[in-house]
Amino acid sequence: MFAEYHGWIVESQTHADPQSGRFFMRQETLAESLPFGINKLRQQFEPLAQQFDMKYTITDSSVLKRVVILVSKQTHCLDDLLYRWRSGEMSFDLKAVISNHEDARGFVDWHRVPFHHVPMSADSQETGFRQIERIIDQTGAETLVLARFMRILPAWLCEKFPARILNIHHSFLPSFAGSNPYRQAHERGVKYVGATCHYATEKLDEGPIIEQDAFRTNHTDTVEELICAGRDIEKAVLARGLRFHLEDRVLLNSNKTVVFD
Amino acid sequence: MFAEYHGWIVESQTHADPQSGRFFMRQETLAESLPFGINKLRQQFEPLAQQFDMKYTITDSSVLKRVVILVSKQTHCLDDLLYRWRSGEMSFDLKAVISNHEDARGFVDWHRVPFHHVPMSADSQETGFRQIERIIDQTGAETLVLARFMRILPAWLCEKFPARILNIHHSFLPSFAGSNPYRQAHERGVKYVGATCHYATEKLDEGPIIEQDAFRTNHTDTVEELICAGRDIEKAVLARGLRFHLEDRVLLNSNKTVVFD
Amino acid sequence: MFAEYHGWIVESQTHADPQSGRFFMRQETLAESLPFGINKLRQQFEPLAQQFDMKYTITDSSVLKRVVILVSKQTHCLDDLLYRWRSGEMSFDLKAVISNHEDARGFVDWHRVPFHHVPMSADSQETGFRQIERIIDQTGAETLVLARFMRILPAWLCEKFPARILNIHHSFLPSFAGSNPYRQAHERGVKYVGATCHYATEKLDEGPIIEQDAFRTNHTDTVEELICAGRDIEKAVLARGLRFHLEDRVLLNSNKTVVFD
Amino acid sequence: MFAEYHGWIVESQTHADPQSGRFFMRQETLAESLPFGINKLRQQFEPLAQQFDMKYTITDSSVLKRVVILVSKQTHCLDDLLYRWRSGEMSFDLKAVISNHEDARGFVDWHRVPFHHVPMSADSQETGFRQIERIIDQTGAETLVLARFMRILPAWLCEKFPARILNIHHSFLPSFAGSNPYRQAHERGVKYVGATCHYATEKLDEGPIIEQDAFRTNHTDTVEELICAGRDIEKAVLARGLRFHLEDRVLLNSNKTVVFD
C-alpha cells in the first residue's frame, strides 16, 4: 500500500514467531512522502487490517508521549533522564516527577518540571498510590517510568497502564529478583552484574523484559562498589528501554517483547 | 623474602577481603632469578608461613597438571580444548577423555589421547561413576573437566576432587540452573544469554563461579539458534576458566573465587 | 507478491540509505509455502524487478556455496572453521584447503578434504597465485576464505572474485593496518584489541568491513599474549562474517556493507 | 615495611615491564592501621626509595585533587561529571568550569561552581589560552579535564601539566584521529565506534591512552545517530579515566599507561 503511494519507508521490520504463529511488523514512513494525512491513512488502513486480522497502532511521531517519572531517594536515573530530556536527546512531554522523598525536588525545580512529594509510610501505601493516580490522571500521562522507585506498585495500578509502566531493576533478571540484588550478587560471587528494564506487571520483577546489560566485576568489588558501578548500567539500560518505548519499537508477544531496534 | 634474594617477580597480586578478614596473595617468580631450587624455597618459606599463619601452595609451572576430560554427545568444548592443547596454546598433561557416548572417539583417537567409553543408562549410573573413578585413578589426574558432560556427579566424587572439577554450565548462573537453560532463557525473553564455568560441588550448579560471559540475543533467536550461538560462549568461558585454574590463579574464598587474572 | 501467494516469510529486512538514495532488502521465504518452484519464482520476479529497477539475486539455501580456504602457518581459524563445518554448525561445500606451508595437511587430511601445498617464495609469488587460481577453478568454488593467509593477493585475483573473498585481519581496522598489528597495538598502548573480517580488494586492508569485534587488554599483556588472546577473536569474527556471507546476508553499498543479521 | 608495622594494605598491585625492565607498584594502606602519620611515613620511606632507586609519590586520599573542567558547546560530559561530583560518586575539588561558549553557564551556576567564559575566535586563541592559564593558576588546580573542549591546546600549556590534562577523544584511537571522527567512522563503515580518554600532549590525539570503550553499530546508523550514541560512551570513558587518575591509579610508562584498576 505504501509502495502504491510511493511512500518513503524510513524503517521496516518484521518478525514471524514460529511458536505462536504470530507475525509482527513495524513500519516508519516519512509523512511528507504520502499524498494524505494521518487520518486518511488510518481510514485507508483499517479495511486492510481487518482483511488480514491485524492488531495495529498508527502513531504520529511528532506528537510527544506524555510521561510521569516516579523516583525515591536514588536520583541517578532521574538525573540522567532529565539530561537527555532537556538536551533534546530524547523527545517526550515530561508532565511531572513524583517521589516519596524530597531529595530530587531542587534539581527537578531547576528544570521547571512539576515535582510532587507523596509521603508513603508503611501504613499509608494505599492512600499514597491513590494520590499518585490522581496526579497522573491530571497530567494525562500515558507512560510511567519507575526510575528507581522503591515501592511495589499495587496490581490495580499496573493494570491501568498495561505495557506502559517501565521499571528498572538493578539485577540481570531472572537472577537476583527482589530486594538488595547487588548484595545477593556479591554473595553469590558472580563475574558480571547487570540491570533490566521491563514493563511492570502485578508479578514483581516478572514483567516482559525490554532491555538488559551487564558489566564485569570480580572479587575486589565490595557491595558498595557494585552499587556505584551499577548506577551507570541502570541509567544506560533504562534510557535505552525508554527510547525503544517512546519510538514505538516495543511490541508485546505474551510475556516477552519484540524490540525493533 | 624475594626482594632479599633479588628474585624477579613476574606477577604479584593480593586481595584483602574485609568481610572475612582474610588476605589472599599470588606471586609468580622467575625460577632462574633465585639462587636455589624449589625444594629449598619450600623449606625457607615454611617458617614464614607458620609465622603469619598462611595457607599456601608452591607449584612449579614447568610441571604440567594432569587432566581428564569428561564429555557426552556435544563435543564443541572438547574439540576446542583439544585444539588449544595440541597447538600448545594451553599447557596441560591430557591423560584421557571419558564419555558416556562414542561420538568423540574418532577425533580423540586422532590426537593419540586415550578414549574411554563408559555407558551410563539410568540404572547403571553408580557403576559407571565407579568405573570413571578407576580410570581417573589410573591416570593419576588431579584435575577433571566436565566439557558438557550431561550426568550429575555423585557427592562422593565431587568431594574427592575439591575445587579440582571444572564444569561449564550453559547459562548465566544463577539464572536458569538445571536442565534446558537455553529453553528457559528463550521462554523468559532475556536479552543476553550466557555461560558459567564453576567448580562442581555436591550442590548442582551452586559451586564457586570461576568465569562467566554472555552474548546479546533478541526476539529473532529460536531456541536452536541460542544453542548454536551458545556453543561459542561455552567454549570461551570454559577455556578461560581452565586456564586460570591451570595457572593456579583461582583461590577459594568460601563459596566464591578470587581470580588473579 | 509473496503475500499474494500466502508465502511464509521467515525473515524480511530492509534498509533505506538516505545518502545514496538506495533501498536494500533481503527476504527469506519458506520454499514449501509457495505454490511453485524457484525457477517459476525467478520468472515471476523478473518483471517486478525491472519495473522497480532492482538489482537482485534469488538463491536456494539448500544449494551449498562452494568454498576454498587459504591458510599459512597459523591454523586456528582453519581449525575453527573445520569444526563448524564437520559438526554441521555451518553449511558449505568445502572444496579444498590451499596453503603455502605443510603445517595444516594432517588435520585437513583427517577431514578428507583435499589439501594443496603451493610453495611461495619471494620470487615465485606470481607463479604460486596462478597455480592457486587453477586449483580454485577446478573446484568450481565461488567463495574464498583467507583464514590467516599471509600473502597479499594480486589485484587480478581480487577482481576475479568481487565481494567473494573474505579476509580476517588481526586488528580493529582502520587501526593498525599492515603487518604485525598486535605489535603496533602493544606499542600504542590501546586498551582494546580487535579483529576485522572484510572483503579483500586490491587495496590491502581497505575492503568493505563485514564484521568486527574487540577484547579488553591492559598493560600486563605482552605482544605474545595479545597474539594468543587475539586468536579467539579472529576465529569468532571470521566465523560470524563467513556465516553472514554464506546466508546471503551481506549486501554491498559502495565500499561499505549492509549486513542483515 | 608495611608488614613490619602491621599496616592493613587495602590494595597492592605491581607490574614488571620486561621491555623497559621497569617495575611499577601501587599500594593503598589504611591510614589508621599505621602507628604514625603521613609525614613520618614519607621520612621513613625516602631512604628505602633511594636504596632501590624508586620514583614514588605518597598521596593522602583524604586531600581532594583540585580540578578545572574545560568545555565547549557539547555539555554531556560536563553534565555527567557534575552529577558524579554533586552526588559524591566522584570526589574532587571542582574549582571552576571554563568555556569558550556560554551554553553551560546556567547549569554550572546552579551547582554554585565558578563559570568562566573565555571567547576564542580564530585570531584570539593565544590570548584566550593565556587567560585560561591565569584562571587555572588562580584556582591552584593541578588537574585539567577537557570535557569535549574543541580547541587544540598549545604545547606550552600541555607541558605545564604533564600527565595531568585528561582529554576525551570521540573515536577509538588510533582510528579516526583529528576532526569529525564519527563522520570518518560512518564513511569507513566500521562495526564498532568508540571513545578514548588520554593525557593531552603536544602531539594531538597521540598522548598516553588511559581508557577506551566502544559500542556496536551497523549500516542503519546515520552520522547523527553515531554522535548521539557516542555521547554515552564518551561520558563513561571520561568518567572512568578521570576516576583512575583521581585515585592515583595511572602510572606513565613512556607513552603508555599502567592502570592499576
**Three-state helix/strand/coil letters over C108-128:** HHHCCCCEEECCCCCCCHHHH
Q: What is the pLDDT of residue D29?
A: 87
Q: What is the pLDDT of residue D52?
A: 86
What is the CB-side half-sphere exposure of residue C216 using CA atoms within 13 A? 9
In this complex, do A89 and D236 lie within 8 Å of one another by their Cβ atoms?
no
How high does pLDDT run on average in chain C?
A: 93
Which of A19, A24, A187, A192 to mutate against chain B (most B CBs within 10 Å)?
Answer: A192
Q: How far is C22 from chain A (nearest CA, A)?
A: 11
Domain ranges in chain D with CATH number 3.30.70.260: 1-63
Residues B12-49 pLDDT 10s: 888 888 888 898 999 888 888 888 889 998 998 999 89
Which residues make beta-bridge pairs with B71?
B99
Q: What is the pLDDT of residue B14?
A: 86
In this complex, do C172 and D172 lie within 8 Å of one another by their Cβ atoms?
yes
Chains that touch A (3 or more CB pairs under 8 A): B, C, D
Q: What is the pLDDT of residue B171?
A: 95
Residues D15-64 pLDDT 10s: 888 888 898 999 888 888 888 889 998 998 999 899 988 999 999 999 99
pLDDT for residue B8 is more than 80? no
The C-alpha atoms of residue D196 and residue D176 are separated, in whole angstroms, by 11
Question: Percent of chain B having pLDDT more than 70?
Answer: 97
Q: What is the ipTM of this complex?
A: 0.92
CATH class of D1-63: alpha beta
Q: What is the pLDDT of residue D6?
A: 61
Residues B215-240 pLDDT 10s: 999 999 999 999 999 999 999 999 99
Q: Which residue has the cell 557494585?
A: A226
pLDDT for residue A2 is more than 60? no
- Contact list in B for residue C87 (CB cut-off 8 A) is 75-76, 79
Domain ranges in chain A with CATH number 3.40.50.170: 64-141, 161-261
- Contact list in D for residue B8 (CB cut-off 8 A) is 16
Q: Assign a CATH topology to domain A161-261.
A: Rossmann fold (3.40.50)
In this complex, do D190 and C175 lie within 8 Å of one another by their Cβ atoms?
no
Range with lowest mean pLDDT among A26-30, C159-163, C190-194, C250-254? A26-30
| CA neighbor of C171 nearest in space, from C151, C190, C153, C199 | C190
pLDDT for residue C86 is more than 70? yes
Q: What is the pLDDT of residue D92?
A: 98
Query: Residue range B128-141: average pLDDT?
Result: 97
> In terms of DSSP H, where are the helices of A140-198?
155-160, 181-188
CB C174 within 8 A of CB D176: yes
Q: What is the pLDDT of residue D5?
A: 62
Q: How far is C260 from chain B (nearest CA, A)?
A: 12
In this complex, do A213 and B222 lie within 8 Å of one another by their Cβ atoms?
no
The C-alpha atoms of residue C94 and residue C85 are separated, in whole angstroms, by 8
Q: What is the pLDDT of residue C3?
A: 55
Q: What is the pLDDT of residue C104?
A: 96
Residues C9-29 pLDDT 10s: 778 888 888 888 898 999 888
Q: Is D205 a catalytic residue?
A: yes
In this complex, do C11 and A9 lie within 8 Å of one another by their Cβ atoms?
no
pLDDT for residue C6 is more than 70? no
In this complex, do A11 and C13 lie within 8 Å of one another by their Cβ atoms?
no
Confidence of residue D113 (pLDDT cuts 50, 70, 90): very high
Residues C180-218 pLDDT 10s: 999 999 999 999 999 999 999 998 899 999 999 999 999
Question: Percent of chain A having pLDDT more than 70?
Answer: 97
Residues B67-117 pLDDT 10s: 999 999 999 999 999 999 999 999 999 999 999 999 999 999 999 999 999
Instruction: Return the number of other C-beta atoms located less than 10 Å from residue D128's C-beta.
Output: 16
Of the partner residues A176, A214, A222, the one whose CB lies closest to the CB of residue B214:
A214
Confidence of residue B129 (pLDDT cuts 50, 70, 90): very high
Count of all residues that appear for chain B in the document: 261
- Contact list in C for residue D174 (CB cut-off 8 A) is 175-176, 188, 190
Range with lowest mean pLDDT among A33-37, A163-167, C49-53, D87-91? A33-37
Residues C102-155 pLDDT 10s: 999 999 999 999 999 999 988 889 999 999 999 999 999 999 999 999 999 999
Query: Residue range A1-25: average pLDDT?
Result: 78
In this complex, do C83 and B89 lie within 8 Å of one another by their Cβ atoms?
no
Of the partner residues A9, A13, A14, the one whose CB lies closest to the CB of residue C16:
A9
CB C67 within 8 A of CB C95: yes
pLDDT for residue D1 is more than 80? no
Please tell me which residue in D137, D205, D213, D232 is annotated as part of the active site. Answer: D205
Q: Which residues of C touch D (CB under 8 A)?
A: 15, 17-18, 172-176, 188-192, 194, 208-214, 218-220, 222, 253, 255-259, 261
Name all contacts of D124-129 with Cβ < 8 Å and 24+ positions apart: D125/D151, D125/D154, D126/D154, D128/D100, D129/D153, D129/D154, D129/D157
Query: Residue range C78-107: average pLDDT?
Result: 97
Q: How far is B32 from chain C (nearest CA, A)?
A: 20
Task: Of B15-19, C218-222, C237-241, give the range with the top mean pLDDT.
Answer: C237-241
pLDDT for residue D187 is more than 70? yes
Question: What is the CATH architecture assignment of C64-141?
Answer: 3-Layer(aba) Sandwich (3.40)
Confidence of residue A6 (pLDDT cuts 50, 70, 90): low
